[in-house]
């Protein structure tokens, strides 16, 4: 009887193994579905697939109002970091050609830039990256669907392609990584009808010619910077301040340099309307917010850079209970990127309180994938992430701005070491280095831990990348002073800082 009982138990256990476990494994089509094929979504999907999960990526680009569309890779690859840096480089080469004469190069006085040549080269490079992403997904066994995804319930996704064909996918976990798109000012007549955004400027086949850039974010200043650097008549219209959220002393240096080298600024101004003239030019009417006077001028192009909005409206978040910030439209997430629905996660620009930076989205996506697979429990560290503004004079920073450091610790509790320096490259070229500046913000007491590091100058991103690593190791002012610099470089000036703002002494570097 006992043997019979044990036999029945074995059969029951066997049935559990055969039927229950495989049924659970087959319950969903995928272990993970990622909606959004930008940097974060791709990184997350590839990492999860490499670790054994069945993964699908849905990516669909809704054309801009001007009809611009692009391939796989998201904002950074198609209408952000990559084409921006290449066009910035094109502008820097123009400056380098002018400098070259001082170095003895015999260069004709009449030089001109050909936009179509540059645009074709940049766009071809972007397309090669699009193709590379598709190949990588295929190699890593990630199912790529060029479809628009929305939530049906917490485990079901409705996917629709460009022709309206639908399909349904089921999945254990969902990652939302749809990023953001540029905003248009809704209260400015003609703005949407006649203006362009950063979604369009990198895909223009012909030069935008005389351009008004409205906005003073890093996107606005970067675009205005390379347009002016390519020899185009460029004006930036600023309602309040430049580079909101960045250190304002550094922001002032960036815009001062831009003004000195050809970019026009209309400060404290707001657009009222845009009209298309019979000539094809765009007549912009704006208000001077100080004098309340109205002004008009004509431009070939108007580029709106007044902020970005998260791509969350079509995801059907409310139906499944994913909580969002009503003001920003961004998804509220926990430290582990989880939304208010336990198996739905969000990474990148659509997440509330996260930096809108490609590298953070990539890192967060990879770490999330490892946690979902059970490979790791490591969370993303969003503190002290370095970034660079690729304006004509580049600005890079890591850590706190001076304003934020004062707010957190009090003005009397911080020490600011600073220096105005002149890059050696500027000397023979006789370029003004007034805005080349370094600032290191430290706690005043104890070991003087570094809270923030700010740098304007050539190759700012390359300089700051290395120093950002030291923030992970508890960088102090003493560490900087004990580091031997590489001579002659701009970066070495960080290791020589010895004058504080508090002292009131002249911070101009005069020699070794």
Report the catalytic residues.
Answer: 487
Q: What share of the chain is helix, strand, coil (3-state, %, to 5)?
A: 35, 25, 40
Q: Which helix (H) or strand (E) holds 58?
A: strand 55-58
Answer whether 181's CB lies under 8 Å from 78's CB. Answer: no
Q: What is the CA radius of gyration of the chain?
A: 27
Single out the residue of 118, 410, 445, 179 nearest to residue 314, CA to CA: 179
Instruction: Report which DSSP code applies to 164.
Output: -
Distance from the Cα of residue 85 to its chain's centroid: 12
Beta strands in 194-310 (DSSP E): 211-214, 234-238, 264-267, 269-276, 282-288, 294-299, 301-304, 308-310
Residues 6 or more apart in contact with residue 381 via CB below 8 angstroms = none
Q: What's the CA gap between 200 and 62, in Å, rounded?
A: 13
Q: What's the CA gap between 481 and 496, in Å, rounded?
A: 6
Rounded to 10 degrees, the C-alpha dihedral 226/228/231/233 comes to 140
Beta strands in 300-362 (DSSP E): 301-304, 308-310, 344-346
Neighbours of 110 (CB within 10 A): 5
Answer whether 286's CB lies under 8 Å from 294's CB. Answer: yes
Q: What's the CA gap between 62 and 178, in Å, rounded?
A: 11
385-406 b/e (C-beta count within 10 Å ≥ 16 → b): bbbbbbbbbbbbbbbbbbeebb
**What are the distances in angstroms from CA 459 to CA 137, 391, 455?**
33, 11, 10
DSSP 387-430: EEE-SSS-EEEEE--HHHHHHHH-GGGEEEEEEE---HHHHHHT
């Amino acid at each position: 009887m006992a043997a019979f009982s044990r036999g029945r138990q074995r059969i029951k256990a066997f049935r559990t193994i055969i039927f229950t476990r495989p049924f659970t494994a087959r319950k969903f089509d995928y272990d993970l579905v990622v909606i959004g094929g930008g940097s974060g979504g791709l990184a997350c999907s590839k990492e999860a697939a490499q670790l054994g999960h069945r993964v699908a990526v849905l990516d669909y680009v809704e054309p801009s109002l001007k009809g611009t569309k692009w391939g796989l890779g998201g904002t950074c690859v198609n209408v952000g970091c990559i084409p921006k840096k290449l066009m910035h480089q094109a502008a820097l080469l123009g400056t380098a050609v002018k400098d070259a004469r001082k170095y003895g190069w015999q260069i004709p006085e009449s030089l001109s830039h050909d936009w179509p040549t540059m645009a074709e080269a940049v766009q071809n490079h972007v397309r090669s990256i699009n193709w590379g992403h598709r190949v990588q997904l295929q190699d890593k066994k990630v199912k790529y669907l060029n479809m628009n995804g929305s939530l049906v319930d917490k485990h079901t996704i409705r996917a629709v392609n460009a022709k309206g064909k639908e399909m349904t996918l089921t999945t254990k976990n969902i990652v939302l990584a749809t990023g953001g798109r540029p905003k248009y000012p809704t209260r400015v007549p003609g703005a949407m009808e006649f203006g362009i955004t950063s979604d369009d400027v990198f895909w223009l086949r012909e030069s935008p010619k005389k351009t008004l850039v409205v906005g003073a974010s890093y996107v606005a200043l970067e675009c205005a910077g390379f347009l002016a650097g390519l020899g185009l008549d460029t004006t930036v219209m600023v309602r309040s301040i430049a580079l909101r959220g960045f250190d304002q002393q550094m922001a002032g240096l960036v815009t001062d340099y831009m003004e000195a080298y050809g970019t026009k600024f209309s400060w404290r101004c707001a657009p009222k309307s845009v009209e298309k003239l019979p000539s094809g030019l765009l007549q912009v009417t704006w208000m001077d917010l100080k004098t309340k006077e109205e002004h008009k001028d004509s431009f070939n192009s108007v580029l709106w850079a007044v902020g970005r909005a998260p791509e969350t409206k079509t995801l059907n978040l409310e139906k499944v209970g994913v909580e969002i910030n009503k003001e920003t439209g961004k998804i509220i997430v926990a430290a582990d990127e989880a939304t208010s629905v336990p198996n739905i996660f969000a990474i990148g620009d659509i997440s509330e309180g996260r930096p809108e930076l490609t590298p953070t989205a990539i890192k967060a996506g990879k770490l999330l994938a490892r946690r979902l697979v059970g490979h790791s429990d490591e969370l993303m560290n969003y503190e002290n992430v370095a970034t660079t503004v690729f304006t004509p004079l580049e600005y890079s920073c890591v850590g706190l701005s001076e304003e934020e450091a004062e707010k957190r610790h009090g003005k009397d509790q911080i020490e600011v070491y600073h220096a105005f320096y002149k890059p050696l490259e500027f000397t023979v070229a006789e370029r003004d280095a007034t805005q080349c500046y370094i600032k290191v913000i430290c706690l005043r007491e104890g070991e003087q831990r570094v809270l923030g590091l700010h740098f304007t100058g050539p190759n700012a991103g390359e300089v700051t990348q290395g120093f950002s690593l030291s923030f992970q190791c508890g960088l102090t002012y003493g560490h900087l002073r004990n580091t031997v610099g590489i001579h002659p470089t701009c970066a070495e000036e960080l290791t020589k800082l010895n004058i504080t703002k508090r002292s009131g002494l002249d911070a101009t570097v005069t020699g070794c």
